[in-house]
Amino acid sequence: MGHGLKPQKPLRRCFAAAFLLIWQMKTVLLLLGALGWSIATPNGQPAYVLATEASVLAAGGSVETNWQTATALRVGSLAPDFRLQDLMGKAVAMQELRGKVVYLDFWFAGCKPCVAEAAPAAELRRKFAGQDVVFVYISTDIVVDDWVRAVRQHALDGPSTIHLLDPQGIRAARRYGVQGFPTYLIIGRDGRIRHLDAPRPSDGAQTISLLKQSLAAKR
């Protein structure tokens, strides 16, 4: 009579083990996202995702779908304002850059795809030296020393560059719908978004062409 109850114990153990495995997988995904999990973006390039992206993946969501949702900003809309500190501790606001074309770069020190753009970025800056283009790098690093060290180590500083710190992306990155790193945008002289998910410095001619178009555009 009691034999019918015995198979339920292994079954309960199986359910418990399955639940534990799912919980562990979600925890790992969240940790990978917090540290910067390398994926391929919708355009096929490597990027690092935010912890919020890992949450979506753990819940069974789609990276591409969430990416599209995050980029709710529209070309032609005013670029969200922010006020962040630069390397010298000076506060810089987005609206203060009106009149110049802004090439916006969201990154962080431990992001390999980000620092891989250092050499192409230096060449791009040389290409537009003396012109009304400003290269704004916004880091989401939490540790200030890591940020400063990475800027120096990868020679990211120079004329027409502004380095700003946005710890965890709370003030700027999230306002711009940033889900992966690096992320680039081009802002026109009028402070309006001209290109979302703009090409990287390593895209060469394509990036140069869009910046030239932005310079030539009427305000």
Q: How confident is the model at residue 12 (pLDDT cuts 50, 70, 90)?
A: low
pLDDT in tens, 81-95: 999 999 999 999 999
- 25 pLDDT exceeds 80? no
Q: What is the pLDDT of residue 179?
A: 83
pLDDT in tens, 104-162: 999 999 999 999 999 999 999 999 999 999 999 999 999 999 999 999 999 998 889 99
- 11 pLDDT exceeds 90? no
> DSSP secondary-structure letter at 50?
-
Question: 3.20.20.450, 3.40.30.10, 1.10.1240.10, 1.10.3720.10: which CATH number matches 76-216?
Answer: 3.40.30.10
Q: Which residue has the higher pLDDT, 23 or 115?
A: 115
- 96 pLDDT exceeds 60? yes
pLDDT in tens, 26-80: 444 334 444 444 444 445 555 555 544 443 344 444 444 434 435 468 899 999 9
Q: What is the mean pLDDT of residues 175-193?
A: 93
Distance CA 64, CA 31 (A): 20
Distance CA 64, CA 62 (A): 5
Using an 8 Å Cβ cutoff, are 177 and 71 in contact? yes
* Cα dist from 21 to 14, 34, 66, 142, whole Å: 10, 20, 25, 31
Helix (H, G, I), strand (E, B) or coil at 99: coil
φ, ψ at 74 (rounded to 5°): -120, 145
Q: What is the pLDDT of residue 83?
A: 94
Sequence ranges of the domains in the chain: 10-68, 76-216
* Cα dist from 214 to 33, 121, 130, whole Å: 34, 18, 15
Structure tokens at 189: 């002289």
pTM value is: 0.72
